[in-house]
Structure 1
């Protein structure tokens, strides 16, 4: 252990503990990698964060677990890709905006065909929403 490490450990051991609120953590540690080293780390880490991967490699099973993300990872990347592809290829938001403008100005003719088209569009938007929720690991019909 270097002198700097011992000094840091002494300071951290004698630092006052916060009375309430979130605990204070030591400052982050920075390390520089060559482009090749970083590419190797990125290839080996898979879907893990780089910091979690490095911590796991350094400490193995002794690594202190971190808090889980509030918004969990994508459960079904393929389904998410399909939904985002459909949304990206559509003009859904622009078309919905045009419909809303026509309704507000009173220039949307309400015929049985128009009503059927709007109901079908609503069903398609609902199906996209359900696919997106499933891809994110949420149950359709549950809260936000």
Structure 2
């Protein structure tokens, strides 16, 4: 009787990155584990022609959505709208309408980006009174 011999697995691959490279890689990967992200990027063309282009577009959408969140755009627009409602910021009706339209456009852009990523947008935090 012969013993069952397990085939040897290849040694793991090690990749050294400086802090900036690691930070960029983590940002590009988003919520995806780094190993999976790297494998997907390296082998995307082999899996499906044009897949790397789709992945690149997806990553661009992720970066734009992240930039919207990182720059406090929503919080700043919300603060302006609340100041208008409280009477702390006096504007003409036209200026108030322009700010309200801007708020809605930013929310629509956010929702479009989220949908383009295949996700469901969150419930709107605004009640449309702006």
TM-score band by shorter chain is 0.3 to 0.5
Q: TM-score, normalised by structure 1?
A: 0.38
RCO greater where, 1 or 2, for CA within 8 Å and sep 6 or more? Answer: 1
Bigger Cα Rg: 1
